[in-house]
Amino acid sequence: MDSRHRTGSGGDGRGSDRADRADRVVRPGIRAVARAAGVSPTTVSHTFSGSRGVRAETRDRVLRAAATLGYTPNRIAQGLRRRRTGVIGLASDRIATTPFAGRIVQGAQEVAREHDLLLMLVDSEGDRELESRQIRALAAQQVDGVLMARMSHQVVGRPGGLGELRVVLVDGAPEAGWAVDAVVPDEEGIAATAVERFVAAGHRRIAFVNADEDAPAVSGRADGFASALERAGLDAPRSMIVSAQSDAVGGRRAGRSLLDREPVARPTAVFCFNDQMAMGVYQAADALGLAVPTDVSVIGVDDLELVSAALEPGLTTIALPHREMGRAGMKTLLAMIEGAAPREPVTTRLRCELVERGSVASPPV
């Protein structure tokens, strides 16, 4: 067979090559955008990289020109120049099964989007060995940093595979000896808010249903409860503090032990570790012929709407700042990535908001 049959109608193959090139979409470059916007290529580069300030009017002109031409920056080339990939890892223990996970992801994603970054999620389902493998995988993808998020405030052990990765904990406290930034709820402030709301309504006999777990949320709220009562000039007798498993069953048992007493010894208000335990206290009160809030006022924590808004009356509760923790954690991590001055790691405690519904009233006469 001769060469004419091998190369097709063009004989030397150049006709086929030209056709292939004609079929390709030509990607507009930075110089084309600069010409269309009437600026220098450097200004276009600064507009997309954010490495230097560009006047708002100029930036808008560049972005309009880029949109018209269909130009998008080459993220791979940018990453090579800046030694970054533009990808942030978010490693969690319960993304798929916890109702609060979406809010943490939402907050982190909002900040990532503002900085034109991609968020990569992994879920260890509480398996520490799996988490270490996932961290190694994120490091292999050369992520710029990692948010390690927990869906309840707990102590977090340093996972394997971190190496030199920049890390910020979200809703987690580092284990002893691990120096790392963290963003958590103000646990003492949560209890103080509940006690202050009860005191403002006139209550003097205030009980606390806590979780029987070893976690910063448990100890922090216990400390906050005692301190708030002391500031209000009230006692915190042991008989008014009950620990139980942190669900409706535990709340029901704890509630019955507190409320099945003579009226003069019975608390008129109960602060609960979470909304599920508060639901159990509602059930205990109902079983004893007591009404919320006429006979006993109740405050929970979490603002888990499937519980707090569904109860009758609606549960007054303290919302945990999951979205705000996601945002704050991402901002802290980005400051580290951008090369902020080195400092000692800090734990940022975020204020939690009281959500009023119908479960708090003045104490019975």
DSSP of 37-89: HTS-HHHHHHHHH-SS---HHHHHHHHHHHHHHT----HHHHHHHHT--SEEE
pLDDT at 29: 81
Q: Which domains does the chain have, with CATH numbers?
A: 3-73 (1.10.260.40), 84-184+323-350 (3.40.50.2300), 187-320 (3.40.50.2300)
CA gap 215, 225 in Å, rounded: 16
Residue scoring higher pLDDT (193 or 159): 193
Whether residue 314 has pLDDT greater than 90: yes
pLDDT tier for residue 338 given thresholds of 50, 70 and 90: confident
> With left for phi above 0 and alpha for psi between -120 and 50, is residue 83 left, alpha or beta?
left
CA dihedral angle for residue 35, residue 41, residue 46, residue 49, rounded to 10 degrees? 100
CA gap 169, 92 in Å, rounded: 10
Whether residue 77 has pLDDT greater than 60: no
HSE-up of 245 (CA within 13 Å, CB side)? 6
Residue scoring higher pLDDT (47 or 21): 47
pLDDT at 11: 47
Whether residue 25 has pLDDT greater than 80: no
Whether residue 12 has pLDDT greater than 60: no
pLDDT at 8: 43
Whether residue 78 has pLDDT greater than 70: no
Q: Do 272 and 278 form a contact (C-beta atoms < 8 A)?
A: yes
Whether residue 23 has pLDDT greater than 50: no
Q: What is the largest CA-CA distance in the chain?
A: 109
Whether residue 51 has pLDDT greater than 70: no
Handedness of CA 189, 190, 193, 195 (dihedral sign): negative
HSE-up of 201 (CA within 13 Å, CB side)? 26
pLDDT tens for residues 247-264? 999 999 999 999 999 999
Token representation of residue 57: 């009017």
Residues of the chain with pLDDT > 90: what percent? 65
Whether residue 100 has pLDDT greater than 80: no
